[in-house]
């Protein structure tokens, strides 16, 4: 089991990735810089952003302001749906590199799959985008490549043409929405699963089941949710813009869940789901 925020998972290509990341979805650009700087100074070494979050420039500023060397930081960003296809993908990645002010990205993800609902040629769209990812990877601009919000059907389709298989799938995962089928598929295929919204966007924090178990461990509901993701072998990416919470969310290595806690949380009925289901083709506003 992981012992600290800098302990790592190893991707199948040998790249190490710190086991808990600092998420920046819904972090406004005007505060992202100071939040990222603070998170790094407190000890986080893994920052997750996306082109669609509109805060890449500010995240890059925060990294530089932190004084932590770039090569000590694992930086993820994501490709947006408006740039599908080989050429557009290459250009889009260059835009992210410029915005972030860095010459490489540690992990680049396809943010959402193209799906049958939006395009008959969805498989080809994903395959061409992925070809762009493979080129960027081979050129050394990206240390690892992966996807986000892909269901097994999307991964199976991608496999048909991929030369390099995805190393990561970042999905919504939290108590009450554990996507077991996706997680099991990924584990069986050497794909590390990252958990976005491990606190269910905050919706889990007043849940009585979570509250009761958290009280037993003398931890906060947020810490319990983060610990749960880690104990399931996932990589949680909690987001907070509030300094004491940023620190609280890292302090999840001093306790372990009992088997009965895991069983209880595993058995929770669906709760806190964001409503973003891949097959429903997400809206442009993320």
Footprint of ligand A2P (CB under 6 A): 23, 197-202, 205, 220, 222, 238-242, 245, 248-249
- CB 146 within 8 Å of CB 157: no
Q: Rounded to an integer, what is the distance from CA 147 to the centroid of its chain?
A: 9
Residues whose CB is less than 8 angstroms from the CB of residue 32 and which lie 6 or more positions away in sequence, other chains included: 24, 49, 55, 58, 59, 62
Q: What is the CA radius of gyration of the chain?
A: 18
Token duo for residue 115? 């799906």
Tokens of 84: 């599908």
In the bound state with ligand A2P, the residue whose beta carbon lies nearer, of 111 and 239, is 239
Find out whether 109 and 170 touch, Cβ atoms under 8 Å. Answer: yes
53, 177, 185, 228: which one is catalytic?
53
- SS3 state of residue 18: strand
Nearer to ligand A2P, 136 or 237 (CB): 237
Alpha-carbon separation of residue 4 from 8, 21, 53, 217, 285 (angstroms):
9, 12, 28, 18, 34
Axis-axis angle for helices 180-188, 152-159 (nearest 10): 30
Token readout for 180 is 């077991």
Whole-number Å distance between alpha carbons of 95 and 102: 11
**CB nearer ligand A2P, residue 201 or residue 281:** 201
Q: Nearer Cβ to ligand A2P, position 210 or 222?
A: 222
Q: Known catalytic residue: 53?
A: yes
Tokens read off for 277: 């289901």
Q: Could you write out the DSSP letters of every residue in 138-179? A: HTTSEEEEEEES--HHHHHHHHTT-SS--SEEEEE-BTTB--
Enzyme catalytic residues: 53
């Amino acid at each position: 089991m992981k012992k600290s925020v800098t302990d790592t998972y190893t991707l199948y290509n040998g790249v190490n990735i710190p086991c808990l990341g600092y998420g920046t979805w819904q972090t406004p650009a005007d505060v992202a810089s100071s939040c990222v700087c603070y998170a790094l100074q407190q000890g986080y070494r893994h920052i997750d952003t996306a082109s669609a979050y509109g805060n890449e420039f500010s995240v890059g500023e925060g990294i530089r302001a932190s004084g932590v060397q770039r090569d000590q930081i694992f930086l993820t960003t994501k490709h947006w749906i408006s740039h599908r296809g080989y050429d557009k993908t290459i250009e889009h990645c260059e835009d992210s590199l410029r915005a972030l002010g860095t010459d490489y990205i540690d992990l680049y993800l396809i943010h959402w799959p193209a799906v049958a609902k939006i395009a008959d040629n969805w498989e080809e769209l994903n395959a061409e985008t992925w070809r762009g990812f493979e080129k960027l990877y081979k050129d050394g601009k990206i240390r690892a490549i992966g996807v986000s919000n892909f269901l097994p059907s999307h991964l199976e389709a991608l496999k048909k043409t991929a030369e390099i298989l995805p190393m990561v799938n970042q999905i919504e995962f939290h108590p009450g929405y554990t996507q077991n089928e996706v997680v099991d598929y990924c584990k069986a295929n050497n794909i590390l699963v990252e958990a976005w919204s491990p606190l269910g966007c905050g919706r889990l924090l007043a849940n009585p089941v979570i509250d009761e178990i958290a009280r037993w461990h003398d931890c906060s509901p947020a810490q319990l949710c983060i610990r749960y993701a880690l104990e399931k072998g996932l990589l949680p990416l909690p987001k907070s813009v509030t300094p004491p919470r940023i620190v609280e969310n890292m302090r999840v290595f001093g306790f372990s869940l009992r088997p009965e806690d895991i069983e209880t949380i595993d058995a929770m009925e669906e709760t806190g789901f964001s409503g973003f289901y891949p097959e429903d083709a997400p809206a442009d506003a993320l």
